[in-house]
Amino acid sequence: MKLLFATGPSINTRFIVVLLLSIVLIVVDQKSDKLKPLRDLLSVFVYPVQYVVDLPSSLLNKTIQSFKGYEELLNENRQLKREHLINNAKLLKFADLEKENIRLRSLLDSSFKLGEQVLVAELLSVNLAPYEHVVVVNKGNRFGVSKGQAVLDENGIVGQVAKALPLSSEIILITDPNHAIPVQVNRNGLHTIAIGSGQLNKLNLPFLPNNADIMPGDLLITSGLGGVFPQGYPVAVVSSFIEQPDKPFAIIQAEPSAALNTSRELLIVWNNKQVIPLSKQIIVEANGTD
């Protein structure tokens, strides 16, 4: 009677047979190339399995590298933005310094051409109330500044020193309602007085008759009368002339030549007729280091 279920070799026997067969194949493969076609064929079938097994690890590495690259790009972008901001700030400062250089050159050039003794002063504060136009500069009587001295910018007369303190001075502008300056028409030498209107862009000339030889566009310069303002400095340009037939005087207005609302550096001027000597140390400190 035959058994329904025949028993085969045991697991240990099978393992030993497979092990021996593997050793034989390894030895044969090392000694000859006869198994190379078989090895190549097996590698084709094994590659998909290797790819699938390696895929999670490969994807993980690529993801990590991508995150690292993204983080590096973010850091680089932040750094570039910071550098861009700093460079822009530097460019703004350089542009401001360039403009300041141009302003100072204009100031000094105007003073050299006119041959007056001058002192460069910087604006500290401004008071432009409707009936009081006063600014404060950073030069005072320590630098030889005294009450009454003329003050100008690169375009023309700004005002005069109203009060000189040790380290600063108050400058009353030509547009202050309480300020008057002797002027003359540059075209024909006509003398008159320009009085502040309380507005930065306007001076009044209230003492000229209706038939006065003056017209819009005429340049008004300092006449030198009174000894406060040196002669020949631009003051204003006539902007309007209105006759008043029923009154003795015309309504005449002029626009100041100086940039009263934008100037940051001013020149305090000594009239050649009354020069106040300054020591070399004070001149260097005033014009070079402040």
Q: Could you tell me the mean pLDDT of each successive run of 10 residues in the chain, 290 residues long? A: 56 76 71 66 68 73 74 81 62 59 64 64 84 91 93 90 94 95 93 94 96 95 88 92 93 95 86 47 45
Alpha carbon distance 36, 30 (integer Å) = 10
83, 112, 141 - which closes a domain: 112
Residue 73 burial (C-beta neighbours within 10 Å; 0-12, 13-18, 19+)? exposed
88 and 145 co-located in one domain: no
91 and 138 co-located in one domain: no
In which region does residue 220 sit, left (phi positive, over 0), alpha (psi from -120 to 50) or beta (all else)?
beta
**Residue at 256: amino acid letter:** P
Tokens coding 247:
């009154």
215 and 229 co-located in one domain: yes
What distance, in Å, lies between the first and last C-alpha atoms of the chain?
126
Q: Which pLDDT score, from 0 to 100, does residue 111 have? A: 52
3-state secondary structure of 48: helix
98 and 128 co-located in one domain: no
Taking the mean position of all CA atoms in its chain, how far away is CA 156? 26
Q: Please indicate, yes or no, if residue 1 is contained in any of the structural domains.
A: no
CB burial string 162-177: b at 16+ within 10 A, e below: bebeeebbbbbbbbbe
Domain that holds residue 77: 59-112
Q: Which pLDDT score, from 0 to 100, does residue 228 have? A: 87
Tokens coding 285:
């400190």
What is the longest distance spanned by two Cα atoms in the chain? Answer: 158
33 DSSP assignment: S
This model's pTM is above 0.75:
no
Tokens coding 157:
């007369």
Q: Which pLDDT score, from 0 to 100, does residue 263 have? A: 82
Alpha carbon distance 223, 126 (integer Å) = 28
Q: Which pLDDT score, from 0 to 100, does residue 32 have? A: 66
79 and 167 co-located in one domain: no
267 and 124 co-located in one domain: yes
**For the chain, how many structural domains are there in total?**
2
Alpha carbon distance 212, 177 (integer Å) = 23
Residue closest to 229 by CA, chosen among 153, 127, 160: 160
102 and 214 co-located in one domain: no
If one counts every other C-beta atom within 10 angstroms of the C-beta of residue 228, the result is: 15
123 and 235 co-located in one domain: yes
Q: Which pLDDT score, from 0 to 100, does residue 154 have? A: 83
122 and 255 co-located in one domain: yes
Do residues 158 and 151 lie in contact, with contact meaning Cβ atoms separated by under 8 Å?
A: yes
**Residue at 234: amino acid letter:** P
Alpha carbon distance 285, 139 (integer Å) = 11
Q: Please indicate, yes or no, if residue 27 is contained in any of the structural domains.
A: no
Backbone torsions φ then ψ of 208, nearest 5 degrees: -115, 135
